Amino acid sequence: MTGTATKTQETFKTDRSSRLFERARAVIPGGVNSPVRSCKSVGHDPIFINRADGAYMYDQDGNSYIDYVGSWGPMILGHRHPRVLEALEDALALGTSFGAPSRLEVEMAELICEIVPSIEMVRMVNSGTEACMSAVRLARAFTGRELIVKFDGCYHGHADSFLVKAGSGLATLGISSSPGVPEAASKLTLSIPYNDVDKLREVFAKKGSEIAALILEPIVGNSGLIKPNEEFLKAITGLCRDTGALLIFDEVMTGFRVALGGAQEMYGIKPDLTCFGKVIGGGLPVGAYGGRKDIMERIAPQGDVYQAGTLSGNPLAMAAGLAQLKFLRANKDAIYKEIARLTDRLHQGLDLAAQKAGVAAQISSVPGMLSFFFTNNDVTDYESAATSDTKLFGKVWRGLLQSGVYWPPSQFETSFLSLMHSNREIDETITVFDQVLQEVK
């Protein structure tokens, strides 16, 4: 699973992508099915991908790229990993969807409960958005309260409750909320700065008895990568415990990536509920939420909190996800050590390149995830991330793309590494980044 990504300006062509984009704009709003793919904030038309393999993607014009999007996180083993493909082929021979229980979804639930100690029961859904939406409904029912606390720049999907000062595509497009979200729904969501312990305590002092849950990305990936500080995590766990509010970890990005047990394993925290996304489907559309048994037993048909889904537990997604998670579990030490090493190598290389070019840049990383911010400020929350020079980011992004590196097309997203990245891809990326900075600074 190797490829070549080095190109010159002269050999980089986008004619076929451009024609596809024109066709798409006639029948798809904005020409894309998810806003950040539009590449508007980086001053480029979207690139239409034809295929992917290992650490590489190939577009409709034949350009190849070292891929740092990884389908926004789930491709921990890279594209087209043999174990995942074999599992999909076996499942496909038996059928694509049943709308009834199957053995694979039981095995998936058992495996998640085994890997993640905070989860005693789990419900399969179809996306990270659905998982977060369902977890919040469950928390409100369990506590008998209505208010939700979230953090500025954190994105938990596009349900109404979450589109208040959300990150990801909204931050990329400069949208703080969204038309169509009722004011009444917005009033039930309290959004405060990430890592701001004083504000957190203030909110809980005023509203603690009304707060059903606090939901957060334990490591922010939707404002670029932002790590929590120790005091912040202690305050969150203590305030939830003292007030009876449920603690919900959105591990759609971090689950099974930063560690086998996710960010909660890394930080030694057991949230009440956890949300997962496409990582548990090996990249296929899937999600899940799980947690304490006494909470999860409130879900219908065992309990009275309704949530359903025709494709929940889809056999293809379960087969692919099981193959990936079993491979990760069986090779845990070697895989996570290697991904951490590769991430650190990339972090150090990009940092040195920025210093060499005399460009102010903050590099933030955890194993398997990395962002660079063009700012002099330490990035600890969305407000400090927003001080980044987004015009410079756009120039750098275009330079990377034309030289065969596909970086997330937004200052406010994080990149993802896979096991299929090697020193070769990392070093080539650093070289290209260095050259691009020298050209655009």
For residues 192 and 225, the answer to whether their CB atoms sit within 8 Å is no
Q: Quick check: is 229 in a domain?
A: yes
Amino acid (1-letter code) at residue 267 = Y
Amino acid (1-letter code) at residue 386 = A
| Pairing of β 121-125 and β 147-151 | unpaired
Query: Which tokens go with 392?
Result: 């410079």
CATH assignment of the domain containing 176? 3.40.640.10
| Residue that terminates a domain, selected from 301, 330, 359 | 330
User: How confident is the model at residue 10, as a pLDDT?
Assistant: 62
Residues 342, 238, single domain; the answer is no
CATH assignment of the domain containing 397? 3.90.1150.10
Q: Quick check: is 107 in a domain?
A: yes
Paired residues of 147 in beta bridges: 211
| Residue that terminates a domain, selected from 330, 355, 386 | 330
Q: Quick check: is 384 in a domain?
A: yes
User: How confident is the model at residue 3, as a pLDDT?
Assistant: 43
Residues 339, 324, single domain; the answer is no
Residues 59, 141, single domain; the answer is no
For residues 95 and 244, the answer to whether their CB atoms sit within 8 Å is no
User: How confident is the model at residue 185, as a pLDDT?
Assistant: 76
Residues 409, 391, single domain; the answer is yes
- 379 φ/ψ angles, rounded to the nearest 5 degrees: -100, 110
Residues 291, 413, single domain; the answer is no
Residues 271, 401, single domain; the answer is no
Residues 286, 393, single domain; the answer is no
Residues near 431 by beta carbon (within 8 Å), at least 6 away in sequence: none
User: How confident is the model at residue 7, as a pLDDT?
Assistant: 57
* One pLDDT digit (tens) per residue for the chain, 441 residues: 344 444 555 689 999 999 999 999 999 999 999 988 999 999 999 999 999 999 999 999 999 999 999 999 999 999 999 999 999 999 999 999 999 999 999 999 999 999 999 999 999 999 999 999 999 999 999 999 999 999 998 988 877 777 665 444 444 444 455 677 777 777 889 999 999 999 999 999 999 999 999 999 999 999 999 999 999 999 999 999 999 999 999 999 999 999 999 999 999 999 999 999 988 999 999 999 999 999 999 999 999 999 999 999 999 999 999 999 999 999 999 999 999 999 999 999 999 999 999 999 999 999 999 999 999 999 999 999 999 999 999 999 999 999 999 999 999 999 999 999 999 999 999 999 999 999 997
Q: Quick check: is 276 in a domain?
A: yes
Residues 320, 346, single domain; the answer is no
Amino acid (1-letter code) at residue 157 = G
From residue 315, alpha-carbon distances to 91, 98, 139, 260 in Å are: 7, 8, 28, 23
One-character DSSP codes across 266-289: HHT---SEEEE-GGGGTTSS-EEE
Residues near 157 by beta carbon (within 8 Å), at least 6 away in sequence: 127, 128, 129, 130, 131, 132, 133
Cα–Cα dist 34/409, whole Å:
12
| Residue that terminates a domain, selected from 304, 330, 356 | 330
Amino acid (1-letter code) at residue 140 = R
Residues 130, 197, single domain; the answer is yes
From residue 420, alpha-carbon distances to 63, 168, 389, 431 in Å are: 19, 26, 31, 19
153-173: b (≥16 Cβ within 10 Å) or e: bbbbbbbbbbbbbbbbbbbbe
- 415 φ/ψ angles, rounded to the nearest 5 degrees: -90, 160
Residues 56, 41, single domain; the answer is yes
Q: Quick check: is 4 in a domain?
A: no
Cα–Cα dist 278/267, whole Å:
22
Cα–Cα dist 408/171, whole Å:
14
Among candidate residues 242, 214, 241, the one with its CA nearest the CA of residue 228: 214
Q: Quick check: is 323 in a domain?
A: yes
Q: Quick check: is 1 in a domain?
A: no
Cα–Cα dist 197/239, whole Å:
11
From residue 129, alpha-carbon distances to 33, 105, 309, 313 in Å are: 15, 20, 13, 16
Residue 180 CB: number of other CB atoms within 10 A? 7
Owning domain of residue 50: 15-67+332-440
- 5 φ/ψ angles, rounded to the nearest 5 degrees: -125, -10
Cα–Cα dist 192/141, whole Å:
23
Overall number of domains in the chain: 2
Among candidate residues 10, 11, 63, the one with its CA nearest the CA of residue 405: 63
Residues 321, 356, single domain; the answer is no
Write out the catalytic residue numbers: 155, 250, 278
Residues 323, 265, single domain; the answer is yes
User: How confident is the model at residue 175, as a pLDDT?
Assistant: 47
